[in-house]
Amino acid sequence: MDCSRVRTLVRRYCAGEENWVDSRTIYVGHKEPPPGAEAYILQRHPDNRIVSSKYTFWNFIPKNLFEQFRRIANFYFLIIFLVQLIIDTPTSPVTSGLPLFFVITVTAIKQGYEDWLRHKADNAMNQCPVHFIQHGKLVRKQSRKLRVGDIVMVKEDETFPCDLIFLSSSRGDGTCHVTTASLDGESSHKTHYAVQDTKGFHTEEDIDGLHATIECEQPQPDLYKFVGRINVYNDRNDPVVRPLGSENLLLRGATLKNTEKIFGVAIYTGMETKMALNYQSKSQKRSAVEKSMNVFLIVYLCILISKALINTVLKYVWQSEPFRDEPWYNQKTESERQRNLVEYIFTDKTGTLTENNMEFKECCIEGHVYVPHAICNGQVLPGASGIDMIDSSPGTSAREREELFFRALCLCHTIQVKDDDDVDGPRKSPDSGKSCTYISSSPDEVALVEGIQRLGFTYLRLKDNYMEILNRENDVERFELLEILSFDSVRRRMSVIVKSATGEIYLFCKGADSSIFPRVIEGKVDQIRARVERNAVEGLRTLCVAYKRLNPEEYEGICTLLQAAKVALQDREKKLAEAYEQIEKDLVLLGATAVEDRLQEKAADTIEALQKAGIKVWVLTGDKMETAAATCYACKLFRRNTQLLELTTKKIEEQSLHDVLFELSKTVLRHSGSLTRDNFSGLSADMQDYGLIIDGAALSLIMKPREDGSCGNYRELFLEICRNCSAVLCCRMAPLQKAQIVKLIKLSKEHPITLAIGDGANDVSMILEAHVGIGVIGKEGRQAARNSDYAVPKFKHLKKMLLVHGHFYYIRISELVQYFFYKNVCFIFPQFLYQFFCGFSQQTLYDTAYLTLYNISFTSLPILLYSLMEQHVSIDTLRRDPSLYRDIAKNALLRWRVFIYWTFLGVFDALVFFFGAYFMFENTTVTSNGQIMTTNTHMIFGNWTFGTLVFTVMVFTVTLKLALDTHYWTWINHFVIWGSLLFYIVFSLLWGGIIWPFLNYQRMYYVFIQMLSSGPAWLVIILLITVSLLPDVLKKVLCRQLWPSATERVQSTCTCGHDHLPELTLLACPQSPSPWAMFQARTQNR
């Protein structure tokens, strides 16, 4: 169940089911409706407080401790500490309690500091000043005190404090422009419209006199959907009713641009705003390494419990027999994780894969190609001058079509012009002599208008519903804007109807080639289609332009048709779509354009390397399908031989969701059969390469529970399709849908490791949901970076982060985990065996100092340095050959087979240590002074001598085992490894060779020196170390010779003096004339 469902159920429960309604009524300015209008029902709504923190002052300690002790390792050591504390044990509780206390304290301080920063950010947001209208005056109060129904004033460059219905603005046409980078990642400007009956209210007194109520739906997270209506009460008895849509809604988090001020009424506040509903709470992330270690700890905990049970039972069995009450010797003593293994990468598009800078490349008119010098965001690149024309110029007969094409691009858009020399960078028109800034919801439109400006036609402004352009003769042409047929993702085109100064009425239409070509009845279709396909192969974003002339009678019919659709309260979108379909037909094709969305540096190389490494890359974006698909081709996510599959709203409208899913499933499984594509990642020529495109609406249907209350079948079918696709593009995604996609893959039956990367606040939810979250520090703020596990400046750094550092990290951490288990099995198992020879008396085999320092000093530094510095192959090799990442895929080095091998190796070494020393002391005699001496070595024999011999062999063996596993040797490695062994010898000599005055008794006095004074003891130590290491050495040699991995082959190559790998030859792909164009053509043919 997702967070929105939980919030909904909680809200219903708290309010009482009988009070729950599917809509809400807002009284503008908290004014009751006039008598006889409608009943006044007071509704309670939350305040405008935003809470992103995890803890409070009161619940921090219990909640943090609960979360920390959910970790198996912490819980394990807590149990050990409590056992040592409650009962009498040979070791002190301090040995377990002090490290545990240190880890818990440091972690709590870190998490507390992070949450304090979140509290600080929340307070700054909740206490920021907001202006609202009260009794006809402008009053300022804190944002958290804002209530539903308050009328708010927002100034230019300010962020909307809550979700508002747009009432009026300082602009005469009742519009305003906003940027929604923190919501959907798009930094372009969007136009919103005030309510028709309130847009003339420009002062506080006018707004305060407004008497109205708003009926709208309850809060829901979809950023692009809003349904409501406003009842405006005038002097008449009946109110004026106006429909409200998403174009009237100003969302919290968006920023006001190019408008001096606006007035709006708050309808959703605090945690009910769409931004808050799309916020994913921060959860505790656990790496695959930690999960594997937790399972291994449970196994060892079971082994430890079984050892304790065995020893306890045998102790009572021993003591139950006569004359065995006393033990043999009973003196008691007082004593990263996740970057690796990534299988799925979910990436945002705008600002992550691309720089969001559009560049006009060329246009094709009647088969003639025009290529102006590069312009990017209004800046002419150095050395550019004049117009560069390819092919022959059109003749006199085609001149009219050429100018009509330029006029169409100057008029068919939703661009606004801001005459300002300082804001957002001045853009000097080369012909108009004035500076202007173009702003639009689509960066493509800005690039097109700027490109046409270089070709002689300049768009000036929209004033009093007239669009003004400057032609090549520097004459200003004025066109009356009659209608705008807005763009939508189903039609994939937009149109405007304008009237020239001579009275001619034109319909100009631009859109995707698959959307324009079927509606064309005249024009050079074949020549223009060939150029469009050529540009598509190069990864350029293409649009086609067409027009038709309308006579007055046709225009009147169009007006009547559009008006009937616009005022409909039921099925308004469907009726508008039907009207647009009737209007946009019988067109004359003029030409096509090509725009390049600049990819980030090396973005394509990075995705190609990630796919070679066996990682699947998904693009999750709020952009329209055409834009996103073109980018996917440019960054090599989709290849030229990729067969694209659609799971979109348009496809579902033609067929049922059930039929579409089963058709796609049969398509992808036809070639792959039962094979999984995880090992191919779309790079094999033996299998058909599939790419899937899905939009947000289709995803909602898949995630929506069916009538029988289940949604699992559709989800599983969808996941099966995705598993057999080399790449997936999810477009028109809301922020919460991005998180749902990540969660869906994360919780699938394979439980793959997921990584999410994005640069905007709209990506925070998926960054928090994924196992690994990467924030790109870009143009859209620092929200993504602040909520991520890692932050990078560019997408290209993901290659080195995963394929190099992630690879190294996994090799190091897996060795660290297994080695710690191994050396502790070597440490503990001889103690277990020793109980069979000491009457199960709990007598320790090792001295207290050895017990304490084994894991702290004697064996800790070598593995610590290994986990920081080991490089089993060079950095350049990992960069050059991404396929080496497959050797560590799916947690290969922490699987049960490897775990069992390390465990049995530890048990074998422990048996060698214990019984090798035992047989050395097997024959003993009693000397004249009462000492026990071995007959074969003439060495003084005793309990501590035996334990010291076992301990010495153990320390040398586990240290040399790590030395055998080390491939990257530096002077630091030599110093730490050999220094640790030297430190053990020096410590043992000092510990047993000096009488320490602070000790009450000193049982180790002269033991170590006496042991080393015997020549056979030296021989036994060397022999036991050799025997212990021999199986591991044999295993390494045999595996490298018989079953070498790719990494081991590289190591062997480097050892032989070849510091490079053979270059990988890419499999030849069959030539295809147009990837994206062919997909559009297939869509058209459907």
Active-site amino acid positions: 348
User: Look-up: residue for tokens 């790998």?
Assistant: 1061
**Residue 704 annotated as part of some ligand binding site:** no
Task: Give the amino acid at 21.
Answer: V
Angle at 228 between CA 225 and CA 233, to 5 degrees: 155
Main-chain dihedrals φ then ψ at residue 363, nearest 5 degrees: -140, 150
Q: How far is CA 764 from the centre of its chain?
A: 8
User: Look-up: residue for tokens 């409501």?
Assistant: 228
**What span, in angstroms and rounded, lies between the C-alpha atoms of 977 and 664?**
58
Q: Which two tokens stand for residue 359?
A: 């560049």
CB 181 within 8 A of CB 441: no
Task: Give the amino acid at 187.
Answer: S
**Residue 350 annotated as part of some ligand binding site:** yes
**Residue 487 annotated as part of some ligand binding site:** yes
- Residue 821 has, within 13 A of its CA and on its CB side, a CA count of 28
DSSP string, 589-613: EEEEEEEEEEEPTTHHHHHHHHHHT
DSSP state of 428: B
**Residue 386 annotated as part of some ligand binding site:** no
Q: Which two tokens stand for residue 451?
A: 């490109």
Q: Which of 700, 705, 877 is nearest to 803 (CA)?
A: 877
CB 879 within 8 A of CB 796: no
Coil/strand/helix, residue 228: strand
User: Look-up: residue for tokens 């147009």?
Assistant: 1074
CB 646 within 8 A of CB 655: no
**Residue 285 annotated as part of some ligand binding site:** no
Mutual angle of helices 807-834 and 860-869, in 10-degree steps:
160
Contacts of 315 by beta carbon, 8 Å cutoff, 6+ apart = 839, 840, 841
Long-range contacts of the stretch 195-198 (C-beta < 8 A, 24+): 195/165, 195/166, 195/167, 195/168, 195/230, 195/232, 195/242, 195/244, 195/248, 196/242, 197/230, 197/232, 197/240, 197/242, 198/167, 198/168, 198/232
* Helix or strand (DSSP H, E) at 65: helix 60-68
Q: Which of 987, 1000, 951, 953 is nearest to 847 (CA)?
A: 951
Per-residue buried b or exposed e for 931-967, using 16+ beta carbons within 10 Å of the residue's own CB: eebbeebebbbbbbbbbbbbbbbbbbbbbbbbbebbe
**Residue 54 annotated as part of some ligand binding site:** no
**Residue 732 annotated as part of some ligand binding site:** yes
**What span, in angstroms and rounded, lies between the C-alpha atoms of 909 and 911?**
5
Q: Residue 434 burial by CB count (10 A; 0-12/13-18/19+): exposed, middle or buried?
A: middle
**What span, in angstroms and rounded, lies between the C-alpha atoms of 722 and 704?**
18
Sign of CA dihedral 153, 159, 162, 166: positive
Coil/strand/helix, residue 168: strand
**Residue 32 annotated as part of some ligand binding site:** no
Per-residue buried b or exposed e for 701-728, using 16+ beta carbons within 10 Å of the residue's own CB: bbbeeeeeeeeeebeebbbebbbbbbbb
What is the number of helices (H) and of strands (E) in the chain? 35, 39
Q: Which two tokens stand for residue 218?
A: 């309850």
Task: Give the amino acid at 849.
Answer: A
**Residue 879 annotated as part of some ligand binding site:** no
DSSP state of 435: B
Q: Which of 261, 266, 31 is nearest to 153 (CA)?
A: 261
**Residue 796 annotated as part of some ligand binding site:** no
Tell me the sheet residues that pair with 541: 595
**Residue 815 annotated as part of some ligand binding site:** no
Coil/strand/helix, residue 3: helix
**Binding site feature residues for Mg(2+):** 348, 350, 759, 763
**Binding site feature residues for ATP:** 348-350, 445, 487, 510, 541, 621-623, 732, 738, 762-763
**Binding site feature residues:** 348-350, 445, 487, 510, 541, 621-623, 732, 738, 759, 762-763
